[in-house]
Structure 1
Amino acid sequence: MPELSVDAPLDGSGAPGPAGLGEPVVRVRPAWTASLSLSTLAVFMAFMTPIQILLPLQLEHIDPAHKSTALAWVTGAGALIAVVANPLAGALSDRTLSRWGRRRPWIVGGALAGAAGLAVTAAQHSVLGVALGWCLAQAGLNGMLAGVTTPVADTVPVEQRAEVSGWTGIMQSFGLVLGALLTTLLFTGVWSGYGSLALLTVALALPFVLRFPEPVLPRALRPALDLRGILAGLWISPRAHPDFAWAWLTRFLINLGNALGTLYLLFYLTDSVHYGDPGTGVLILTVIYTLFAALTAVPVGRISDRRGRRKPFVLISCAVMAVAAVLLAFVHTWTAAMAAAAVLGAGFGVYLAVDQALVTQVLPAALDRAKDLGVINVANSGPQVLAPALAAPIVAWLGGYTALYLATAVVTVLGGVLVRNVRSVD
């Protein structure tokens, strides 16, 4: 493979070297960040709204006596698909020679496939059918996610990365707010809810794809299109890349805590808080959470960029999120739930901005950025597989919601402590 010089002339992507494979040196414009944020909003709206609202309502109608177990199976199956689809799509994106670049075809194609999966899910009337439809949606949306997450590493210089990650990060929670508003106020039926998400997923992906071209990967630099080699490359040795491994484990544990805390939120409001309208309650808590995440993500991201430090902010964010979990564990009231949402949002906003910037600084190779970020994203989706298996017995036999949220706090704090083992980033 030809040797890549990071001092080569700019190719228009904001990064030196062919196809933007070197370290980016030119700050991205606000319009670039805004368009990428819209694409990120699209994919997380399509991910989170079904998990938090549509799937619980659909499964409660299909099998009310076993709604918790059905939700655990469906979300767990979808997350298992995500574990495979995201890094695989990333590896294929790294090898894409399209004249539209490496990322944009996957953003559009994934959006279309994800929208089709949402439509299939909406049409199902059995738990198995819902699971199969959701798996199809997860496969497409994870292809889109592979294209959406990599441009930050491809194009944004390190000294701007936490700020941009703050903007894209808050789109994760804002996606749920927008999706919740659509599905609880405008499109209240299951079919119309899924349909509106499908249309918006495609529409919001288009501004970034149509407005911002990216360089084409030279054929001479493309990694081999060998399935066995691609699959082997999904394993990144912790011995060879310890900082990557510690960053992965940190993210896995923090997202496991988040998954444990949010999976049964609708049922928590119903069964423990006894809130009269739990669907609306989830929406209110999500709005509070998103507001406080927005208040912290970008400002703290700028501070992190200016100081060149990431790990202290990750530690602080985990401590704050653990406080919110402890509050939910011991005070089962609506007022406490709102306070916890505010605290959790503030902590998670910091985490979203700073951890994503940290991760992009420990990627093993420029040619494999999308694949490596796909492996990192397994730490997002993997907990969705594990959380139902842990949460269901905790709620049923090991102490109910108090034990569940205490487990959330412990796992979150552990994730924050382990980030200290990352050596190449301050």
Structure 2
Amino acid sequence: MIPEPGVVPAFAEPTVPVRARWTAAVVLANVGVFAAWLGPIQVLLAKQSEAVAPGNKEFVFGLVTGIGAAVSVVANPAFGAISDRTMSRRGRRVPWVLIGALGGAGGLLILSGASAVGLMVLGWCLMQLFGNALLAAITAVVPDRVPVSQRGVVGGWVAISQVLGALVGTALATSVGGIGLGYVACAVFLVLSVVPYLWRSGDTRLVERPRLVVPQFLRGFWISPRRYPDFGWAWLTRFLFNVGNALGTLYLFYYLQDEVGLADADTGVLILTAIYSACVLVTAIGCGKWSDSVGRRKIFVTGSGLVMAVAGVVLAVWPTWPGAILGAIILGAGFGVYLSVDFALLTQVLPSAHDRAKDLGVINIANSLPQVLAPALAAPIVKHLGGYPVLYLLATFITATAAVLVRQIKSVA
């Protein structure tokens, strides 16, 4: 049976280090939701768009992912706020981890049988809706349970979960035989991935529900950058990092197929994802722990962003298979540091312990909104405004700008 939630008050700043098995359960749940997102984005949705509309694949792919990302922009902070106020006997986060996994799996099963654009949009929107319910809850458990002095290393493991999710999702999408079976495999893995966390969550619960005043509740989704400038800069820099990343990765399948001229583009995506994941593994945990030990965050985030920007230059000027491999190595090395340390930095600039999931949900808009904007920017660039070299140079410029602006955050070293 699931043990009773912890007795630590829900709004207290955590001081007791978390155990490895708890971290492993959180990481696995993150791997599940990112596999369910990135397997489709990297391979399945691209191939399905080509099958449904072979002459207009870029538009269909951008339409489906863009509408889904718009759902994500609203869903993550909304479910975060709901999670903050949930009075379940098992805690605030557990119900939404379970509901999110089951609902997301349902969306993937709809996609597995979709042969029209409308069904693709429906299935992907459901995956985004429920996947963000899961992500909002499982992200908030880190500031709920992990002391500040341990967040760099835990953030490193969370970073690895995102990358492992991409690797697992891409492997499931390419190895089970067909688009439909790929979606089914991702759905099954998503549900199974949350079981260990549900079994041993240690989730904190509310003793008394916070008073809900609707106008005040709605206003809470706006966090003034004038009142909380460091939160504002953290949001802006994460947004720019994710715009650059989305521009660089959204059309990777088509880049390999059309620009590099790779005959087996889906296998190419899998190989690049594996290389990229290995490089993230090398840098994320070590640099997260290093950041904890020296008590500094910004220098790591700035440096990682500049490294990531170099990867865009490589892909722009050397559109070959060796160039793609080198770009994956550089991008993975930088992204591992960024994901681990920037997450720790973000948890240190949250305005209120009472609204951790909601505030992290607002931060996650900076992850989701670029997925709406990137197709609108990338499609015309690829088709009419210079193609993939211009696309990757733009991604480089935006990422480098984000890296420099991190220095504007003042309350974190």
Instruction: State if a TM-score over 0.5 links the two structures.
Output: yes
Matched, 1:168 2:158: yes
Residues 14-67 of structure 1 show CA distances to partners (whole Å, capped at 9, x for unaligned) of 9x5x22x12111111111111100000011011111111110111111110000
Paired position in structure 2 for 1:114? 104
Q: Displacement, 1:228? A: 3.8
Paired position in structure 1 for 2:50? 60
Paired position in structure 2 for 1:211? 200
Paired position in structure 1 for 2:92? 102
Matched, 1:343 2:330: yes
Q: Displacement, 1:227? A: 4.2
Q: Displacement, 1:232? A: 1.9
Q: Displacement, 1:304? A: 0.2
- Partner AA of 1:201 in structure 2: L
Aligned equivalents of 2:55 and 2:382: distance in 1? 16
Q: Given that residues 13 and 155 in structure 1 are in contact (C-alpha distance below 8 angstroms), is that contact kept between their aligned partners in structure 2?
A: no
Q: Given that residues 114 and 140 in structure 1 are in contact (C-alpha distance below 8 angstroms), is that contact kept between their aligned partners in structure 2?
A: yes
Paired position in structure 1 for 2:250? 263
- Partner AA of 2:346 in structure 1: V
Q: Displacement, 1:213? A: 2.4
Paired position in structure 2 for 1:28? 18
Matched, 1:153 2:143: yes
Aligned equivalents of 1:262 and 1:135: distance in 2? 20
Correspondence for 2:235 among 248, 264, 283: 248
Paired position in structure 2 for 1:190? 179
Matched, 1:399 2:371: no
- Partner AA of 1:214 in structure 2: D
Q: Displacement, 1:388? A: 0.5
Paired position in structure 1 for 2:168? 178
- Partner AA of 1:361 in structure 2: Q
How high is the TM-score relative to the length of structure 1?
A: 0.94
Residues 66-114 of structure 1 show CA distances to partners (whole Å, capped at 9, x for unaligned) of 0001000100000000000000000000000100100111111111111
Paired position in structure 1 for 2:77? 87
Correspondence for 1:73 among 63, 70, 76: 63
Aligned equivalents of 2:146 and 2:202: distance in 1? 15
Paired position in structure 1 for 2:372? 385
Gaps spanning 5+ residues in structure 1: where?
1-10
Paired position in structure 2 for 1:304? 291
The secondary structure found in structure 1 opposite 2:194 is helix
Paired position in structure 1 for 2:123? 133
Q: Given that residues 5 and 90 in structure 2 are in contact (C-alpha distance below 8 angstroms), is that contact kept between their aligned partners in structure 1?
A: no
Paired position in structure 2 for 1:7? none
Q: Displacement, 1:226? A: 4.3
The farther-off stretch of 168-177 and 378-387 is 168-177
Q: Count residues in correspondence.
A: 410
Residues 12, 139 of structure 1: alpha-carbon distance in 2 compared, 3 angstrom cutoff: closer
Residues 276-329 of structure 1 show CA distances to partners (whole Å, capped at 9, x for unaligned) of 210000000000000000000000000000011000000110010011110000
Q: Given that residues 381 and 387 in structure 2 are in contact (C-alpha distance below 8 angstroms), is that contact kept between their aligned partners in structure 1?
A: yes
Aligned equivalents of 1:232 and 1:376: distance in 2? 16
Residues 234-283 of structure 1 show CA distances to partners (whole Å, capped at 9, x for unaligned) of 11111111110100000000011000000110000011110121000000
Correspondence for 1:413 among 395, 400, 408: 400
Gaps spanning 5+ residues in structure 2: where?
none
The secondary structure found in structure 2 opposite 1:65 is coil
The secondary structure found in structure 2 opposite 1:64 is coil
Residues 364-409 of structure 1 show CA distances to partners (whole Å, capped at 9, x for unaligned) of 0001000000000011011000000111111122211100000010
CA-based RMSD of the aligned residues comes to 1.3
The secondary structure found in structure 1 opposite 2:392 is helix
Paired position in structure 2 for 1:236? 223
Q: Displacement, 1:176? A: 1.5
Matched, 1:368 2:358: no
Aligned equivalents of 2:159 and 2:397: distance in 1? 23
Residues 120-145 of structure 1 show CA distances to partners (whole Å, capped at 9, x for unaligned) of 12221111220121111110100000
Aligned equivalents of 1:212 and 1:385: distance in 2? 33
Residues 119, 226 of structure 1: alpha-carbon distance in 2 compared, 3 angstrom cutoff: farther
Aligned equivalents of 1:162 and 1:121: distance in 2? 37
The share of aligned pairs that are identical, in percent, is 53
The farther-off stretch of 250-259 and 190-199 is 190-199
Paired position in structure 2 for 1:225? 212
The secondary structure found in structure 1 opposite 2:55 is helix
Aligned equivalents of 1:273 and 1:353: distance in 2? 31
Q: Given that residues 5 and 201 in structure 2 are in contact (C-alpha distance below 8 angstroms), is that contact kept between their aligned partners in structure 1?
A: no
- Partner AA of 1:97 in structure 2: M
Aligned equivalents of 1:47 and 1:135: distance in 2? 11
Matched, 1:199 2:188: yes
Q: Given that residues 102 and 217 in structure 1 are in contact (C-alpha distance below 8 angstroms), is that contact kept between their aligned partners in structure 2?
A: yes
- Partner AA of 2:377 in structure 1: L
- Partner AA of 2:15 in structure 1: V
